[in-house]
Amino acid sequence: MTGTVMLAYYFEYTDTFNVHVQGFFCYDNAYVKPYLGPEESSAIPPTLLYALVAVVPTLVMMISEAVLFLIQYSSKELDDQEKTIQTGDCCYLNPLVQRTFRFLGVYMFGLFTVDIFVNAGQVVTGNLSPHFLTVCKPNYTALGCQHTLIYISQQEACTGNQEDILRARKTFPSKEAALSVYAAFYLASYITCTVEVKGTRLAKPVLSLGLMYLAFLTGLNRVAEYRNHWSDVIAGFIIGVAIATFLVVCVVHNFKGELLLSGEDPPQENMSRVESPLDKYITLQNHIAFAEVT
C-alpha cells in the first residue's frame, strides 16, 4: 500500500516521469476547440470530485457496517470467542472494525491504483486535448504553415502558458471519468451485496444505477467542456470498471466476509504432539542403550 501511494505521489506531484510530446498538424480541427478556463472553473471541479470519491464511499460503508453490527449485536451477546486476536493474548480487534478496515482499505488501494494507471497512460501517450491548439498558440508563420499542412513535433512550437500546455497534453485516459466510475461501481457493488432492504426490490437497483449515472454525467461533462475526447472518457470508464470489478470479485469476494457476530465456535486446533523422525531416532537409541546396560 505504501509503495502504491508513493508511486501515485511521484506521478501526480513531481516531474520524475516526463510527458511524451505528441505532434500535431497545422490547423488540425480536432484540437481547436475553445478553452473554457482552468479546471477549477469546470462544472465538476477535480478537487470536488476527488473529495466526493474519497469521502462518500467511506461514510456509506462505515455507517452501513455500524448499523449491521448493531442489528446483530441486539440479537446476540458478544463474548470473547467472537473477538479476533491480532497480537498475542493482549490485543483484540472488534469484528466491526475488522470488516470496515478491510473494505475501506481495499477501496483506497483501488483509488490509488486507478490514479497510477491513468497517470501512466497520460505520460506515455501524451494525447492532446480538444483545446490544445487554443492554449498552445503556435506561430504558424514561423512554422511555415501558410499553404501546406505540416506535422509539427517540436516542443518549442507552442508559445502559450506552459502549465496549460502540459495539462492539455495529459488527457488519455480521463482521470475524472476513471475515478468517478470506480467509486460508483465499488459502492454500488457494496450496496447490492450487503444492504438488505425489506418491502421493495427496486431500492438497491435504483440507488446503484443512480451512482453509475452520476459517473456517466462526469464523463459527459468532460466532453461537453472540451477537456477530453470521447475516447479519453471511454478509456477511463474501462479502467475504473475493470479495477473495481477485480477488487470486488477477487479480493473482497463480493463483500461476503465473515459475519460480524458468529455463533459458531472457532475450530479447535489439534494440539496432539506429532513425533518427528529425530525424536523417534533418539527414543530408539535410548532403548538400545538401556538394553545394553541391563
The C-alpha cell 501515485 sits at 8
Would you place residue 92 in the very low, low, confident or very high pLDDT band (cuts 50, 70, 90)?
Answer: low
Would you place residue 222 in the very low, low, confident or very high pLDDT band (cuts 50, 70, 90)?
Answer: very high
Q: Is the pLDDT of residue 262 over 50?
A: no
Distance, CA of 50 to CA of 89 (rounded, Å): 41
What tens digit of pLDDT does each residue of 155-213 get? Answer: 788 999 999 999 999 999 999 999 999 999 999 999 998 887 776 778 889 999 999 99
What tens digit of pLDDT does each residue of 22-51 get? Answer: 989 888 889 999 999 999 999 999 999 999
Arithmetic mean of pLDDT, 227-233: 96
Arithmetic mean of pLDDT, 228-242: 97
Distance, CA of 263 to CA of 271 (rounded, Å): 23
The answer to whether residues 213 and 275 touch, using CB atoms and an 8 Å cutoff, is no
Q: How far is CA 2 from the centre of its chain?
A: 14
- The candidate with the shortest Cα–Cα distance to 248, out of 58, 71, 107, is 107
What tens digit of pLDDT does each residue of 281-293 get? Answer: 556 655 555 455 4
Q: Where are the domains of the chain?
A: 2-13+23-261
Instruction: Give yes or no for a cis peptide into 173 (omega within 30° of 0).
Output: yes
Mean predicted lDDT score pLDDT of the chain? 82
